[in-house]
Structure 1
Amino acid sequence: MNFTFKLFLTFNSTSTMLIVYLIKERYYLLFLEKFPVWISYIIFLLIPLLLTIISLWMKRFLSRDDINCELLNVEEANNVFLPSYLGYFFVALGVESTETIMFVYFIVFIFTYLSQTLYYNPLFLLFGYKFYYIMTINNVKLFIISKKEINTTKGIKFPRLRRINNTTFIDEEE
């Protein structure tokens, strides 16, 4: 299940590149050819949204974990990924052919999948999740996806985490 969950996270994290390209090239869904093209664009946008909902549902099948030790540092990571994400947009806008975007997307998808912390999905923000880097007392830096608002390291515990990989976790607490 972890493999499938990571595939969903990777696609959700990178799919906007494809959507921007499809919109730039004015692609539309053939079964909607009699409707305005923006209807297709909305459907393109709904696909990663639906897959994000599915991945949030799938998190229950990941292994359980917790972090109950003292934390040295907490750093909000919501804005850390913005340059990378904007890079996806600029690549999609600059690519001239469908073959090229597919090749570039494949490379980005593989690198994102193989990375340990690039499961940043901006659609999680719509569901109230925030992204944090935390440093444990053992000097281990972890990436946490949580709905908690964290402003201090004092008393912060994560008793209900799901492990995505060795350095990335998603919090189940509301």
Structure 2
Amino acid sequence: MNVFYKLWLTFCSLLLTMTVYLVKEDVLLNSLSIYVEHEGVKQLLIFLPKYASCVIYFITVVCCTGLSMVLVRWLSEDQIAVGSIATVETANDAFLPSYLGYFFVALSVGDSGTFIYVFSMIFIFIFFSKISYFNPVFLIFGYKFFHLTDNSGLKIVVITKKELKVPCEVEFYKLKRINNYTFITSEQ
């Protein structure tokens, strides 16, 4: 399940970038609408303004990210005992500039073939990275990203709704392992 979840989480983290490219290229739901012919005249069956496509794209991204939170239950469990964490750092600000770079890539790529190539390369790098599963949509759901360093010096990323401030008070009983360096909480 961990490999499937990592694939899904990687896809979700890049899905917003894909929608930025689709909007830039005017691949809108209107262009996918169905035309019907009635008495020799073609009529558009569905007409949606451009902003409707953008809203539907964003809702799709949010729903996919929401599904990743449901799939968490099948990951293996781990825990962090009280007193085992030496430092706590917020990681949202560290990941956001890299993520915004993906938007600039989506906006600057000129054709779909190049976008697919670049998107695939970024996907592979994120999938095989140890800690890069940042998805800003998690912030909408109230999750935060933290760098935790344990007493032995190992640095991990924890995605949680908890507010972590005091290292010696950090404790998790139902922490789900994405990989050896990235964890997400299943507690709501």
On the 8 A contact 1:117/1:167 being kept in 2, the answer is yes
| Cα distance, 1:173 vs structure 2 | 2.5
Indicate whether 1:91 and 2:105 are aligned: yes
TM-score (norm 1): 0.95
Match of 1:23 in 2: 23
Indicate whether 1:152 and 2:170 are aligned: no
CA-to-aligned-CA distance 1:91-141 (integer Å, 9 cap, x gap): 111111111111100100111111111011111111111000000011110
Match of 2:63 in 1: 50
On the 8 A contact 2:79/2:174 being kept in 1, the answer is yes
1:80 counterpart SS class: helix
On the 8 A contact 2:2/2:178 being kept in 1, the answer is yes
1:54 counterpart SS class: helix
Q: Give ranges in structure 2 of 5+ residues lacking alignment.
A: 35-45
1:81 counterpart SS class: helix
* Moved beyond 3 Å, runs of 4+: none
Match of 2:11 in 1: 11
Partners of 1:27 and 1:38 in 2: CA distance: 12
Q: Which amino acid aligns with 2:97?
A: P
Match of 2:177 in 1: 163
TM-score (norm 2): 0.88
Q: Give ranges in structure 1 of 5+ residues lacking alignment.
A: none
Partners of 1:86 and 1:64 in 2: CA distance: 31
On the 8 A contact 2:96/2:136 being kept in 1, the answer is no
Indicate whether 1:76 and 2:90 are aligned: yes
Identity of aligned residues (%): 43
Partners of 2:134 and 2:5 in 1: CA distance: 13
Which of 142, 148, 153 lines up with 1:139 in the alignment? 153
| Cα distance, 1:26 vs structure 2 | 1.2
On the 8 A contact 1:16/1:88 being kept in 2, the answer is no
| Cα distance, 1:7 vs structure 2 | 1.2
2:72 counterpart SS class: helix
Partners of 1:108 and 1:117 in 2: CA distance: 14
| Cα distance, 1:48 vs structure 2 | 1.8
Partners of 1:131 and 1:91 in 2: CA distance: 24
| Cα distance, 1:71 vs structure 2 | 1.1
Indicate whether 1:37 and 2:50 are aligned: yes
